[in-house]
Amino acid sequence: MTAARHGAAGAAQVVLGVGGGVAAYKVASLLRLFTEAGHDVRVVPTRAALSFVGAPTWAALSGHPVTSEVWDDVHEVPHVQVGRQADLVVVAPATADLLARAAHGLADDLLTNALLTARCPVLMVPAMHTEMWMHPATQDNVATLRRRGAHVLDPASGRLTGTDTGPGRMPEPAEIFAVAVALLDGWGAVADLAGRHVVVSAGGTREHLDPVRFLGNRSSGRQGYALAATARARGAEVTLVAANVALPDPAGVKVVRVVSADELREAVLGAATDADAVVMAAAVADFRPRDTSAAKIKKGQGEPTEIAFVRTADVLAELAATPRSRAGQVVVGFAAETGDSGADVLTHGRAKLARKGADLLVVNEVGAVGHPTGFEGTENAAVVLGADGSETLVPLGSKEALAGVVWDLVVRRLPGVRPVDGR
């Protein structure tokens, strides 16, 4: 697969193939994400898909005529041109039948013809019942497609049709879109993290005072989840340690859920034993209440006049100071900083990098609610400081964009990997 060819403005020609599964209704939201980002989308459903969502819906949302047949507008040779003109092909949901037809090179409708003529990145998003996903025939077809260069997401686990639950659920549109953006920007065109295991922490820890009260922070986990999804798109095996995050699990990522700083420390250090890189994007509490009540503390009934705190473990410093279990392991920290009368944000960041001993430190300024690079937002800006004295400015943009830069810098530091396209 070659890198995408979209222009400087970021607009791309996207073919959105829709398979005949009940998850087709979710694809309308995915289409909206593409069009709102300025991309020109041609929707190509299968015949079965039109039984779930009709052609008028796709035409209205995309602004283009919709057909599943090669016989419509034959003078324009659509069975060749649709795939040939695309910068990216996304197929969602990719049913077991559609995966089988694609793997065997069948071309009995417009979508499978487009897949044969496409010379751009192809992203397949499987969705089906668990038994169908786990069947050896489906697994062989997925392996064949991946060997040929297609990017096939692992399905999420969750509620399926009826009362069934398990792996086979289509990932949420926002997650699919994040992977698609990575492919359009060239980060996934070559899997430069293939064969690597990376660990990412995300979210914010909670240190309980009693069963209903805790010391915490406003971290949503979006930056850590963007890092995990981007690493998976680039071929990595990803372990995501999530502290109190209410986001859907990234497809194909092992998620370990924790609550407190102590639980996060145990999970991260355990997963890091065979990791090539560890990225600590979680907002880990620096302090916890010294005393914890087993029952809710009530007003006027022994309520404390003051609360004493003790320090939590410094997970990042411990990671950096521990002899790396895997040669060349790269450790990345995050520093949410505010300037003060003593120093500005970057000065504090440089001091923290020296103190922690990490290879890279992502420094971003935070502030009050609504701050553009603060907690809970959808965008971020940062300066990535390197232990080698390097400084990489990342302007305000999506958290996926920052994730891509972080992994670019990690790849440069991994032994035995040559960065792609000079990144």
Catalytic residues: 217
Distance CA 91, CA 111 (A): 9
Nearest to 49 by CA among 69, 71, 64: 69
24-36 helix and 173-184 helix, angle to the nearest 10 degrees: 50
- Which residues, 6 or more positions from 278, have their beta carbon under 8 angstroms from its beta carbon? 198, 199, 200, 268, 272, 319, 329, 330, 331, 332
Name the strand (E) or helix (H) holding 251: none
Nearest to 130 by CA among 96, 88, 157, 167: 167
Distance CA 404, CA 108 (A): 37
What values do phi and psi take at 302, rounded to 5?
A: 75, 25
Q: How many Cβ atoms are within 10 Å of 139's Cβ, its own excluded?
A: 12
| Exposure class string for 148-170: b at 16+ Cβ within 10 A, else e | eebbbbbbbeeebeeeeeebbbb
* The residue to which tokens 């197929």 are assigned: 91
